[in-house]
Chains A and B, each alone.
Chain A
């Protein structure tokens, strides 16, 4: 303590009664800010830049990243499955097997004619030899002469309105009027896709639930750590007459912001990964593997649902963080009381 400060205090203490007496009525009438006084800032009551707080942001960021990736993967598979189903539902295939003493080409044409006349059907056409050869290319190689092979002929039927087509009636008619004909409505594929998409979404939901649970537990421990570091703050707030509601509100706001920052970091990293996957997926179609992936998942691009889902995960995790901290702080205060 320097003497000059002590002197200054002595000078101020001397007229103490007069000044304090003046101070009281000024308070009562809510005196305006003194001219020339520096404006005061309102720092957060809970310290912002603490090791525990930074650690919590990192933990939430790390935990929200796989949650966002899960959301993206689930939406990717769900979108792909929906596209497959839509494509398949708008197409039927008639297969005409070669039968002895029957002209398979003529039978196929007959099947196409019957199908074209069915209600709800837009068109029906027999696949050409070139198209058949293209389909068989993976097995027979390019340039194979399939003219002499006893291959079934395929008729592709495009549908306008899947609900307007009586598939069973068409199948029955083809069976009775076209020799060797059978109708494939891809129902088995659709059912499998439905099952696969449902299982994928269910697995995603379970993973998401586990990630949320792990996040909540991490937040509980991190909040307790932060509370231990802020014990003095809580104690001082208590002693100056702060109500529990006020203290909890301050901590909840603090942890909501921490959770939001961590969640947005995780969601942002996941969004960057989604973008990179889309870019890579759209540029490597020259390999057989990439082509198969492309056939399965399109351009491998996460749709808006995936991005909004990741954003939703960030907010949800922030809310989990805030609610968890609220409960933890309330319990801590109950123990303190």
Chain B
């Protein structure tokens, strides 16, 4: 295993995490996210899936162990370096985290807007992507009036608009009916085929059974890898 993270996009080596002085919620995690890979992250509720996802998008700092992001040790990263790494990772949150005062278009365009790009340079791309995920007629709608599925697709569009190398999705099918969940899964699979590494956190066994992929199973803070 390349613990230095030379070939892997993200690598964990004996990573542990605890909140405050409490017990470790994640212990001795060692795994890698390879380029163009697809994996499910699963486990019972409270197993630490969301904590692991937060470690994966630099929202938390490990208590111990090493994490390499795109070849760089996370411990040596300066706060000013974080944005450029975060732009290489797209995140779909379980609760979507869309900004309610901004339209669907503006939410999806946000990752490009914060880079300081001129809107004219990305407007057509954002509109095209919104049409592509079936939100072409909801461009000016505010999130509070969107359905759960529409919010989910807007969140996915926001996560992929910047062409991230890694896509993290936390329970992306938790708010949709089974047929739509299957279609969203196909969307992630297609994104993966186009070169994006995908990590989907889910406890939906039925969803995982629909696609043969590596499974990262968290159980009481420890990771078991299958496939």
Q: Which residues from chain A sit less than 8 Å from chain B, CB to CB?
A: 1-2, 5-6, 8-10, 12-13, 16-17, 19-21, 23-24, 26-27, 30-34, 37-38, 40-43, 45, 47-48, 232-233, 235-244, 246, 334, 337
Given A6-B180, A38-B140, decide whether A43 and B101 contact each other with a Cβ distance below 8 A.
yes
Evaluate contact between B186 and A17: CB separation under 8 angstroms.
no
B64 within 8 Å of A by Cβ? no
Can you report 8 A-B residue pairs in the complex whose CB atoms are below 8 A from each other? A6-B149, A10-B183, A13-B183, A23-B128, A40-B103, A40-B106, A233-B99, A238-B83
B129 within 8 Å of A by Cβ? yes
CB distance from B77 to the nearest CB of A (A): 11
Evaluate contact between B139 and A38: CB separation under 8 angstroms.
yes
CB-nearest residue of chain B to A250: B114
CB distance from B100 to the nearest CB of A (A): 8
Extra contacts, 17 of them, besides A6-B183, A40-B109 (Cβ < 8 A), are A1-B148, A6-B149, A9-B153, A12-B133, A16-B187, A17-B194, A27-B122, A40-B126, A40-B139, A45-B102, A45-B113, A48-B101, A235-B97, A236-B110, A242-B83, A243-B83, A334-B79
Q: How far is the CA of A33 from the CA of B103 in the complex (A)?
A: 18
CB-nearest residue of chain B to A237: B114
Q: How far is the CA of A17 from the CA of B124 in the complex (A)?
A: 19
List the B side residues contacting A9 at CB < 8 Å: 133-134, 149, 153, 180, 183
Contact partner of B186 (CB less than 8 A), chosen from A2, A13, A236, is: A13
Q: How far is the CA of A158 from the CA of B149 in the complex (A)?
A: 90
CB-nearest residue of chain B to A1: B149
List the A side residues contacting B57 at CB < 8 Å: 239
B36 within 8 Å of A by Cβ? no
Given A1-B147, A241-B115, decide whether A43 and B103 contact each other with a Cβ distance below 8 A.
yes
Q: How far is the CA of A173 from the CA of B153 in the complex (A)?
A: 101
Given A13-B190, A43-B106, A232-B99, decide whether A6 and B124 contact each other with a Cβ distance below 8 A.
no
Q: How far is the CA of A232 from the CA of B93 in the complex (A)?
A: 12
List the A side residues contacting B124 at CB < 8 Å: 26, 31-34, 37
Evaluate contact between A5 and B97: CB separation under 8 angstroms.
no
Q: How far is the CA of A120 from the CA of B87 in the complex (A)?
A: 81
Q: How far is the CA of A43 from the CA of B102 in the complex (A)?
A: 6
List the A side residues contacting B120 at CB < 8 Å: 33
B191 within 8 Å of A by Cβ? yes
Contact partner of B116 (CB less than 8 A), chosen from A236, A238, A246, is: A246
Evaluate contact between B84 and A241: CB separation under 8 angstroms.
yes
Evaluate contact between A240 and B186: CB separation under 8 angstroms.
no
With a 10 A CB-CB cut-off, give which of A10, A32, A242 has the most chain B CB atoms: A242
Q: How far is the CA of A10 from the CA of B181 in the complex (A)?
A: 11
List the B side residues contacting A31 at CB < 8 Å: 124-125, 128
Contact partner of A16 (CB less than 8 A), chosen from B105, B179, B186, is: B186
CB-nearest residue of chain B to A6: B180
CB distance from B223 to the nearest CB of A (A): 23
List the A side residues contacting B83 at CB < 8 Å: 238, 241-243
B68 within 8 Å of A by Cβ? no
CB distance from A246 to the nearest CB of B (A): 5
Contact partner of B129 (CB less than 8 A), chosen from A23, A236, A242, is: A23
Q: How far is the CA of A26 from the CA of B161 in the complex (A)?
A: 13
Nearest 5 Cβ contacts at the A-B interface: A241-B87, A1-B149, A242-B114, A16-B190, A240-B111
Given A236-B110, A237-B114, A240-B114, decide whether A41 and B183 contact each other with a Cβ distance below 8 A.
no
Evaluate contact between B134 and A12: CB separation under 8 angstroms.
yes
Evaluate contact between B193 and A34: CB separation under 8 angstroms.
no
CB-nearest residue of chain A to B179: A6
